A and B are shown apart, each in its own frame.
Chain A
Amino acid sequence: MKVLSRFEIRRFLFFFARSVSQRKGRVVIASLSVMLAVAMVTALAGINSGIREKLGAELKAYGANIIVSPRNGDSIEAAALDKIRGIQHVEDASGQVLGKVFIGGYAIELIGLNIDRLKYSGWRFIGDRPAKRNEVLAGIDLRDALRLAPGKTLSLESNGGKADFIVSGFVEKGGPEDSSIIMSIEDAWELTGTNNVFSAILVRGEPGKLDGIARDIVRDVPAVAAKTLRQVASAEESLLSKMQLLMTLVTLIALFASTVSVASTVSANVFERKKEIGLMKALGGSRSQITLFYTTEAVIIGLSGGLSGFIAGYLSAQAISRGAFGSFIHLPQWMILLSLAMGLSIALTASHFPVRGAMRYDAAAILRGE
């Protein structure tokens, strides 16, 4: 193809704009169908990555990579915590108490943890963290349900009795924490009437040494099981793989349907323009000069469909993920490039054959008016 000068590009765009404005409707329909497919793929990828991020999220959110849980019964002796801290390559470990509290007769999840040690990664805070005894954090959903405000007093009831707590602030994490009450371990022990036991111990070990650490924990601490982040994640992942297969299938169908629909739009376009193409040939237009009009149209359809599809897909993934999994989606930035590329390749693939066919029309016969 000959190189177009800037002046020629301007002229090309001039004729191109005239030609496209004649078939705005078709161009819009074609880019809508590209948009649908790209939106579908983006949404599925987004939901997928959202779910993936949730894999092992329980551990990640606390900056931990090994979870130690009781093998029988439902608690671990507090002494286990010191033993685990003494194991080689363990950087940090903290206990957690899980239980139930009642507010006005309603059961609510209680999480007791080491407030100072809490790694707040992935947590969003509103207000202050508890600074002293009898101060608690409430999940964001709980705040909304009970219309809580910082400083408000909450009356909590559990096996250990009944006590008043002050809400210091709120957390949002996109997980079960959002509807829980979070307090210090000491408060949790007192409220639930237990002492010196944990429901689980979260361990941060040196990356790369996790399997060894997990083995050492099981050896040194009686009656516990230790799972590394990878084990937790892969157990959750096997559940996901079936869903992903379905998603991939739906995606392929969407891509195929969209390509077919764009192809038929472009074919109709080209067919309507048979006379125009014959005339352009008679005026001495070369194959590249003539097909440039149609290819540019496809590029525009692809890019606009790709971009709008990305936006629509992102928004719906966000909505679905909020509703279904209670989590936010972080789409990688390259996903927008992938969407554009996907839109482009749908549109270019779809228009390739009709445009090639158009160049084969017998210009002589067309111009004779047959």
Chain B
Amino acid sequence: MSEQQVYEPRIVAFLCKWCSSAGSDLAGVSRIQYPANATPITVPCTGAISPMYIMSAFNKGADGVLVSGCHIGDCHYIEGNYLARRKMKLIMELLEFIGVEPNRFRMSWVSAAEGAKFAKVVTDFVNDLKPLGPQDKLKKAEHT
């Protein structure tokens, strides 16, 4: 990256199939403008997201990780997002604990009808990540 180029954070977004993934589609078909920094990975349910996925995304160079799913009460599998809420809280606390900037990890509830909200979540995340610069704390060194 040359000096002049603007830094564009890379976000790995774990989106649940039933809500947030559909929400991101809606943002697209509604032609809402939002930054193209997030690489979506569709998962069946936020409850299926292992903290390992998050560590792995950072390990492979993600500048930020987003986890998004159905609102509480709307989970397709009834309670998957309740389980996610606990696990994600724990990994979030642990990341902050070792000194990773809190703004590098984010969680949101975005329903299939909330295209505009999805666009806002990504936009806000990108804006918060930009001042932090590239994430190199958890990233695998090039030579390994």
Q: Say whether A and B bind each other.
A: no
B interface vs A, CB < 8 Å? Answer: none
A binding-site residues for B, Cβ under 8 Å: none
